Amino acid sequence: MSNISSITRLEGSTGPVFRRDHQKADGRRLSLYSYAPHDGPVREELLRPETAPGELRRDPLRNSWAIYAPHRQSRTFLPAAAADPLAPYRPGAPTEIPFEDFELAVFENRFPSLAPSLEPGHLSDWASGAAIGQCEVVVFSKEQVGSLAALSQARRVLLIEALIDRYRCLHEAGFAYVMPFENRGEQVGVTLPHPHGQIYAFPSVPAPQLSAVSAFAAGYDLVGEHASWNGKFDVTADGDLTAFCPPFARFPYETWVMPRRPCAGPWAMDAGSVRSLARLLAEVPRRLDALFAQPMPYMMSFQAAPRGADANFQFTVQFFPVLRSAGRLKFLAGVEQFTGVFTVDVVPEDAAERLRAL
Protein backbone atom coordinates (compact mmCIF):
# COMPACT_ATOMS: atom_id res chain seq x y z
CA MET A 1 0.00 0.00 0.00
CA SER A 2 1.33 3.43 -0.87
CA ASN A 3 -0.27 6.71 0.07
CA ILE A 4 1.80 9.71 -0.94
CA SER A 5 -1.06 12.05 -1.72
CA SER A 6 -0.52 14.50 1.13
CA ILE A 7 2.87 16.04 0.43
CA THR A 8 3.30 19.74 1.13
CA ARG A 9 6.15 21.86 -0.15
CA LEU A 10 7.22 24.32 2.54
CA GLU A 11 9.17 27.45 1.63
CA GLY A 12 11.75 27.54 4.41
CA SER A 13 14.08 30.50 4.70
CA THR A 14 16.96 28.15 3.84
CA GLY A 15 15.12 26.65 0.84
CA PRO A 16 12.29 24.21 0.12
CA VAL A 17 11.46 21.43 2.56
CA PHE A 18 8.81 18.75 2.08
CA ARG A 19 6.29 17.47 4.59
CA ARG A 20 4.48 14.19 4.08
CA ASP A 21 1.41 13.80 6.28
CA HIS A 22 0.21 10.37 7.31
CA GLN A 23 -2.65 9.40 9.57
CA LYS A 24 -1.83 6.37 11.66
CA ALA A 25 -4.39 3.56 11.97
CA ASP A 26 -5.17 4.67 15.55
CA GLY A 27 -5.88 8.22 14.38
CA ARG A 28 -2.61 9.87 15.36
CA ARG A 29 -0.92 12.19 12.92
CA LEU A 30 2.63 11.65 11.71
CA SER A 31 4.65 13.98 9.48
CA LEU A 32 7.89 13.21 7.71
CA TYR A 33 10.12 16.18 6.88
CA SER A 34 12.73 15.87 4.15
CA TYR A 35 14.68 17.79 1.53
CA ALA A 36 13.17 15.67 -1.28
CA PRO A 37 9.55 14.45 -1.44
CA HIS A 38 9.21 11.16 0.50
CA ASP A 39 7.46 8.46 -1.51
CA GLY A 40 8.13 5.19 0.32
CA PRO A 41 5.28 2.73 0.87
CA VAL A 42 3.41 2.65 4.20
CA ARG A 43 4.17 -0.40 6.36
CA GLU A 44 2.72 -1.90 9.55
CA GLU A 45 3.00 0.35 12.61
CA LEU A 46 2.76 0.49 16.40
CA LEU A 47 -0.66 1.58 17.60
CA ARG A 48 -1.70 3.59 20.62
CA PRO A 49 -3.02 1.55 23.54
CA GLU A 50 -6.45 2.41 24.92
CA THR A 51 -6.01 5.32 27.31
CA ALA A 52 -8.22 7.43 29.49
CA PRO A 53 -7.77 11.18 28.99
CA GLY A 54 -5.56 13.01 31.45
CA GLU A 55 -6.78 15.58 33.90
CA LEU A 56 -5.61 19.07 34.83
CA ARG A 57 -5.85 20.39 38.37
CA ARG A 58 -4.91 23.72 39.89
CA ASP A 59 -3.01 24.03 43.16
CA PRO A 60 -4.90 26.82 44.97
CA LEU A 61 -1.91 27.66 47.20
CA ARG A 62 0.78 27.86 44.52
CA ASN A 63 -1.65 28.85 41.78
CA SER A 64 0.11 26.31 39.54
CA TRP A 65 -1.04 23.38 37.45
CA ALA A 66 -0.43 19.67 37.37
CA ILE A 67 -1.38 17.18 34.67
CA TYR A 68 -2.49 13.73 35.85
CA ALA A 69 -1.78 11.08 33.24
CA PRO A 70 -1.74 7.67 34.94
CA HIS A 71 -1.56 5.81 31.60
CA ARG A 72 2.02 7.13 31.30
CA GLN A 73 3.15 4.68 34.01
CA SER A 74 3.12 1.97 31.32
CA ARG A 75 5.17 3.93 28.79
CA THR A 76 8.12 2.34 27.04
CA PHE A 77 11.14 2.26 29.35
CA LEU A 78 14.66 1.86 27.94
CA PRO A 79 13.79 -0.79 25.32
CA ALA A 80 16.42 -3.04 23.74
CA ALA A 81 17.74 -1.75 20.41
CA ALA A 82 15.63 -4.30 18.49
CA ALA A 83 12.47 -2.89 20.11
CA ASP A 84 13.30 0.79 19.46
CA PRO A 85 9.89 2.37 18.69
CA LEU A 86 11.55 5.35 16.96
CA ALA A 87 13.44 3.27 14.41
CA PRO A 88 12.21 2.88 10.81
CA TYR A 89 10.00 -0.11 10.00
CA ARG A 90 11.77 -3.44 9.65
CA PRO A 91 9.96 -6.61 8.54
CA GLY A 92 8.36 -8.22 11.59
CA ALA A 93 9.24 -5.27 13.83
CA PRO A 94 6.64 -2.53 13.55
CA THR A 95 7.66 0.83 15.06
CA GLU A 96 5.99 4.22 15.39
CA ILE A 97 7.22 5.12 11.91
CA PRO A 98 5.71 2.85 9.24
CA PHE A 99 8.34 3.60 6.58
CA GLU A 100 11.58 1.86 5.71
CA ASP A 101 13.49 5.11 5.51
CA PHE A 102 13.07 8.69 6.68
CA GLU A 103 15.03 11.83 7.48
CA LEU A 104 13.06 13.50 10.27
CA ALA A 105 9.70 12.41 11.71
CA VAL A 106 7.19 14.14 13.99
CA PHE A 107 4.22 12.25 15.40
CA GLU A 108 1.70 12.44 18.21
CA ASN A 109 3.00 10.83 21.41
CA ARG A 110 1.64 7.36 22.15
CA PHE A 111 1.54 8.20 25.88
CA PRO A 112 0.58 11.89 25.88
CA SER A 113 0.25 14.05 28.97
CA LEU A 114 -2.01 16.39 27.04
CA ALA A 115 -4.60 15.11 24.58
CA PRO A 116 -6.38 17.03 21.81
CA SER A 117 -9.81 18.21 22.77
CA LEU A 118 -12.80 16.57 21.19
CA GLU A 119 -14.51 19.92 21.50
CA PRO A 120 -12.26 22.66 20.14
CA GLY A 121 -14.25 25.24 22.08
CA HIS A 122 -12.48 24.10 25.24
CA LEU A 123 -9.05 24.96 23.95
CA SER A 124 -8.54 28.07 26.02
CA ASP A 125 -9.97 26.66 29.22
CA TRP A 126 -7.03 25.60 31.39
CA ALA A 127 -9.28 24.87 34.36
CA SER A 128 -11.81 22.70 32.61
CA GLY A 129 -10.49 19.49 34.09
CA ALA A 130 -9.52 17.76 30.86
CA ALA A 131 -5.81 17.98 30.00
CA ILE A 132 -6.16 19.49 26.55
CA GLY A 133 -3.17 20.05 24.35
CA GLN A 134 -0.91 18.17 22.01
CA CYS A 135 2.24 16.16 22.70
CA GLU A 136 4.47 15.36 19.75
CA VAL A 137 7.66 13.35 19.40
CA VAL A 138 10.37 14.70 17.06
CA VAL A 139 12.71 11.98 15.80
CA PHE A 140 15.97 13.57 14.67
CA SER A 141 17.19 10.69 12.50
CA LYS A 142 16.66 7.02 11.80
CA GLU A 143 19.90 6.24 13.68
CA GLN A 144 19.37 4.72 17.11
CA VAL A 145 22.35 6.42 18.72
CA GLY A 146 23.68 9.91 18.33
CA SER A 147 22.99 13.44 19.46
CA LEU A 148 22.27 16.90 18.12
CA ALA A 149 26.02 17.40 17.68
CA ALA A 150 26.40 14.14 15.76
CA LEU A 151 23.75 15.05 13.17
CA SER A 152 24.84 16.64 9.91
CA GLN A 153 24.49 20.41 9.66
CA ALA A 154 21.90 19.86 6.89
CA ARG A 155 19.82 17.69 9.23
CA ARG A 156 19.92 20.29 12.00
CA VAL A 157 18.76 22.92 9.48
CA LEU A 158 15.92 20.55 8.49
CA LEU A 159 15.06 20.15 12.19
CA ILE A 160 14.75 23.92 12.63
CA GLU A 161 12.65 24.23 9.45
CA ALA A 162 10.42 21.41 10.73
CA LEU A 163 10.03 23.10 14.12
CA ILE A 164 9.09 26.36 12.41
CA ASP A 165 6.38 24.41 10.55
CA ARG A 166 5.20 22.81 13.81
CA TYR A 167 4.92 26.26 15.43
CA ARG A 168 2.83 27.39 12.43
CA CYS A 169 0.56 24.31 12.43
CA LEU A 170 0.00 24.28 16.20
CA HIS A 171 -0.57 28.03 16.48
CA GLU A 172 -3.07 27.74 13.64
CA ALA A 173 -4.77 24.88 15.52
CA GLY A 174 -5.42 27.35 18.32
CA PHE A 175 -2.78 26.42 20.90
CA ALA A 176 -1.54 29.39 22.89
CA TYR A 177 1.97 28.21 23.67
CA VAL A 178 4.13 25.78 21.72
CA MET A 179 7.31 24.46 23.31
CA PRO A 180 9.83 22.24 21.51
CA PHE A 181 12.30 20.66 23.90
CA GLU A 182 14.84 17.88 24.27
CA ASN A 183 15.54 15.87 27.42
CA ARG A 184 18.89 14.17 27.05
CA GLY A 185 20.29 11.42 29.25
CA GLU A 186 18.89 8.90 31.69
CA GLN A 187 19.81 11.32 34.50
CA VAL A 188 16.92 13.56 33.42
CA GLY A 189 14.53 10.64 33.00
CA VAL A 190 14.87 9.85 29.31
CA THR A 191 13.19 6.51 28.66
CA LEU A 192 14.09 6.15 24.95
CA PRO A 193 17.78 6.45 24.01
CA HIS A 194 17.02 7.06 20.28
CA PRO A 195 17.83 10.77 19.78
CA HIS A 196 14.60 12.72 19.81
CA GLY A 197 12.92 15.83 21.07
CA GLN A 198 9.34 16.61 21.99
CA ILE A 199 6.81 19.37 21.44
CA TYR A 200 4.12 20.30 23.94
CA ALA A 201 1.32 22.56 22.71
CA PHE A 202 -0.54 24.16 25.61
CA PRO A 203 -4.05 25.65 25.54
CA SER A 204 -2.86 28.62 27.59
CA VAL A 205 0.45 30.23 28.43
CA PRO A 206 2.28 28.69 31.44
CA ALA A 207 3.36 30.98 34.28
CA PRO A 208 7.10 31.41 33.47
CA GLN A 209 6.30 32.33 29.86
CA LEU A 210 3.54 34.72 30.99
CA SER A 211 6.12 36.30 33.26
CA ALA A 212 8.56 36.66 30.33
CA VAL A 213 5.84 38.22 28.16
CA SER A 214 5.19 40.74 30.95
CA ALA A 215 8.89 41.51 31.42
CA PHE A 216 9.41 42.11 27.69
CA ALA A 217 6.22 44.17 27.48
CA ALA A 218 7.48 46.26 30.39
CA GLY A 219 10.61 47.04 28.40
CA TYR A 220 13.15 44.42 29.48
CA ASP A 221 15.74 44.40 26.68
CA LEU A 222 17.75 41.18 26.78
CA VAL A 223 19.62 41.99 23.54
CA GLY A 224 20.68 45.40 24.83
CA GLU A 225 21.59 43.99 28.21
CA HIS A 226 23.66 41.24 26.61
CA ALA A 227 25.59 43.88 24.65
CA SER A 228 26.26 45.79 27.87
CA TRP A 229 27.96 42.73 29.43
CA ASN A 230 30.89 43.17 27.00
CA GLY A 231 31.40 39.47 26.48
CA LYS A 232 31.80 38.62 30.16
CA PHE A 233 29.10 35.91 29.96
CA ASP A 234 29.75 34.80 26.37
CA VAL A 235 30.62 31.23 25.46
CA THR A 236 30.78 31.46 21.67
CA ALA A 237 29.07 33.08 18.69
CA ASP A 238 28.09 32.20 15.14
CA GLY A 239 27.00 34.86 12.65
CA ASP A 240 24.54 37.12 14.42
CA LEU A 241 23.78 34.55 17.12
CA THR A 242 25.46 34.35 20.50
CA ALA A 243 25.74 31.60 23.10
CA PHE A 244 26.12 32.83 26.68
CA CYS A 245 25.59 31.86 30.32
CA PRO A 246 22.86 34.15 31.65
CA PRO A 247 24.01 36.07 34.77
CA PHE A 248 20.93 34.77 36.58
CA ALA A 249 21.36 31.08 35.57
CA ARG A 250 19.64 28.52 37.80
CA PHE A 251 21.68 25.52 36.63
CA PRO A 252 25.48 25.23 36.73
CA TYR A 253 26.72 25.83 33.14
CA GLU A 254 23.24 26.88 31.95
CA THR A 255 23.69 28.27 28.42
CA TRP A 256 21.37 30.27 26.20
CA VAL A 257 21.55 30.80 22.42
CA MET A 258 20.04 34.03 21.09
CA PRO A 259 19.96 36.21 17.98
CA ARG A 260 21.75 39.49 18.77
CA ARG A 261 18.82 41.47 17.45
CA PRO A 262 15.10 41.50 18.21
CA CYS A 263 13.54 38.18 17.14
CA ALA A 264 10.33 36.65 18.56
CA GLY A 265 10.84 33.09 17.37
CA PRO A 266 12.62 30.87 14.86
CA TRP A 267 9.93 31.78 12.32
CA ALA A 268 11.39 35.31 12.24
CA MET A 269 14.95 34.21 11.40
CA ASP A 270 16.55 34.55 7.98
CA ALA A 271 18.54 31.75 6.30
CA GLY A 272 21.83 32.90 7.81
CA SER A 273 20.42 32.89 11.33
CA VAL A 274 18.86 29.45 10.85
CA ARG A 275 22.24 28.09 9.75
CA SER A 276 23.98 29.77 12.69
CA LEU A 277 21.43 28.33 15.11
CA ALA A 278 21.90 24.89 13.56
CA ARG A 279 25.66 25.12 14.15
CA LEU A 280 25.21 26.33 17.74
CA LEU A 281 22.78 23.46 18.44
CA ALA A 282 25.87 21.29 17.88
CA GLU A 283 28.51 23.56 19.37
CA VAL A 284 26.85 24.15 22.74
CA PRO A 285 26.27 20.44 23.56
CA ARG A 286 29.78 19.68 22.27
CA ARG A 287 31.26 22.11 24.81
CA LEU A 288 28.98 20.80 27.58
CA ASP A 289 30.15 17.25 26.77
CA ALA A 290 33.80 18.37 26.84
CA LEU A 291 33.40 20.05 30.22
CA PHE A 292 33.54 16.84 32.27
CA ALA A 293 34.63 14.54 29.40
CA GLN A 294 31.30 12.72 29.51
CA PRO A 295 27.96 13.22 27.72
CA MET A 296 26.23 16.06 29.55
CA PRO A 297 22.63 15.25 30.54
CA TYR A 298 20.51 18.32 29.91
CA MET A 299 17.09 19.78 29.20
CA MET A 300 16.97 22.09 26.19
CA SER A 301 14.05 24.15 24.98
CA PHE A 302 13.12 26.67 22.32
CA GLN A 303 11.60 29.61 24.20
CA ALA A 304 9.71 31.61 21.57
CA ALA A 305 6.79 34.01 21.82
CA PRO A 306 3.36 32.60 22.63
CA ARG A 307 0.81 32.82 19.81
CA GLY A 308 0.11 36.44 18.97
CA ALA A 309 2.66 37.81 21.45
CA ASP A 310 5.57 38.49 19.08
CA ALA A 311 5.88 42.18 19.99
CA ASN A 312 9.05 42.75 22.07
CA PHE A 313 9.44 39.04 22.88
CA GLN A 314 13.03 37.81 22.56
CA PHE A 315 13.59 34.26 21.31
CA THR A 316 16.18 32.12 23.12
CA VAL A 317 17.19 28.47 23.09
CA GLN A 318 17.98 27.43 26.65
CA PHE A 319 20.17 24.52 27.75
CA PHE A 320 19.84 23.38 31.40
CA PRO A 321 22.72 20.94 32.05
CA VAL A 322 22.35 18.92 35.24
CA LEU A 323 25.92 17.93 36.19
CA ARG A 324 27.61 20.26 38.68
CA SER A 325 30.93 18.42 38.43
CA ALA A 326 32.13 15.14 36.93
CA GLY A 327 29.67 12.48 38.03
CA ARG A 328 27.77 14.77 40.44
CA LEU A 329 24.26 15.82 39.57
CA LYS A 330 22.67 19.09 40.53
CA PHE A 331 19.63 17.99 42.52
CA LEU A 332 16.56 20.12 42.92
CA ALA A 333 15.84 19.34 46.53
CA GLY A 334 14.00 20.93 49.43
CA VAL A 335 14.96 24.55 48.91
CA GLU A 336 14.22 24.57 45.18
CA GLN A 337 11.04 22.50 45.44
CA PHE A 338 9.49 24.34 48.35
CA THR A 339 10.62 27.92 47.71
CA GLY A 340 11.49 28.12 44.00
CA VAL A 341 14.83 29.68 44.99
CA PHE A 342 17.69 27.87 43.27
CA THR A 343 21.05 27.36 44.96
CA VAL A 344 23.85 27.29 42.40
CA ASP A 345 27.42 26.14 43.02
CA VAL A 346 28.89 27.79 39.91
CA VAL A 347 28.82 31.53 39.23
CA PRO A 348 27.64 32.12 35.62
CA GLU A 349 30.65 34.27 34.64
CA ASP A 350 32.98 31.45 35.78
CA ALA A 351 30.85 28.90 33.91
CA ALA A 352 31.09 31.03 30.75
CA GLU A 353 34.86 31.33 31.12
CA ARG A 354 35.27 27.56 31.41
CA LEU A 355 32.96 26.81 28.48
CA ARG A 356 34.64 29.53 26.36
CA ALA A 357 38.07 28.02 26.93
CA LEU A 358 37.12 24.52 25.77
In the complex with a second copy, which residue's Cβ is closer, 165 or 254? 254
Q: Which stretch binds a second copy (CB under 8 A): 3-11, 91-99, 140-148, 342-350?
A: 342-350
Cβ at position 136, least distance to a second copy in Å: 13
Is residue 117 within the footprint of a second copy (CB under 8 A)? no
358 vs 321: CA distance, rounded Å: 16
In the complex with a second copy, which residue's Cβ is closer, 102 or 253? 253
2 vs 39: CA distance, rounded Å: 8
CB 289 within 8 A of CB 296: yes
CA 59, 180, 220, 171 torsion-angle sign:
negative
Using CB under 8 A, pick the residue from 3, 152, 294, 325 that binds a second copy: 325
In the complex with a second copy, which residue's Cβ is closer, 95 or 301? 301
Using CB under 8 A, pick the residue from 14, 34, 147, 198 that binds a second copy: 198
Q: Which residues lie closer than 8 Å to 288 by C-beta, 6 or more apart?
A: 253, 255, 296, 298, 319, 321, 355
CA distances from 159 to 63, 275, 350 (A): 35, 11, 32
Using CB under 8 A, pick the residue from 8, 39, 49, 66 that binds a second copy: 66
* Helix or strand (DSSP H, E) at 169: helix 153-172
**Strands of the sheet with 234-238, listed across from one edge:** 7-12, 15-23, 29-34, 104-108, 134-139, 196-202, 177-184, 298-303, 316-321, 255-259, 241-244, 234-238
In the complex with a second copy, which residue's Cβ is closer, 19 or 194? 194
Using CB under 8 A, pick the residue from 53, 206, 239, 272 that binds a second copy: 206
CA 82, 84, 88, 90 torsion-angle sign:
positive
Quick note: the x/- pattern for a second copy over 72-91, rule CB under 8 A, is: xx---x--------------
Q: Which stretch binds a second copy (CB under 8 A): 91-99, 145-153, 279-287, 299-307?
A: 299-307
In the complex with a second copy, which residue's Cβ is closer, 48 or 250? 250
In the complex with a second copy, which residue's Cβ is closer, 47 or 215? 215
Q: Which stretch binds a second copy (CB under 8 A): 34-42, 148-156, 271-279, 335-343?
A: 335-343
Is residue 209 within the footprint of a second copy (CB under 8 A)? yes
Q: Which stretch binds a second copy (CB under 8 A): 94-102, 214-222, 236-244, 304-312?
A: 214-222
272 vs 278: CA distance, rounded Å: 10
Buried/exposed code over 112-142 (b: 16+ C-beta within 10 A; e: otherwise): bbbbbbeeeeebeebebebbbbbbbbbbbbb
Residues 157-196 that bind a second copy (CB under 8 A): 179, 181-183, 188-190
Residues 246-265 that bind a second copy (CB under 8 A): 246-250
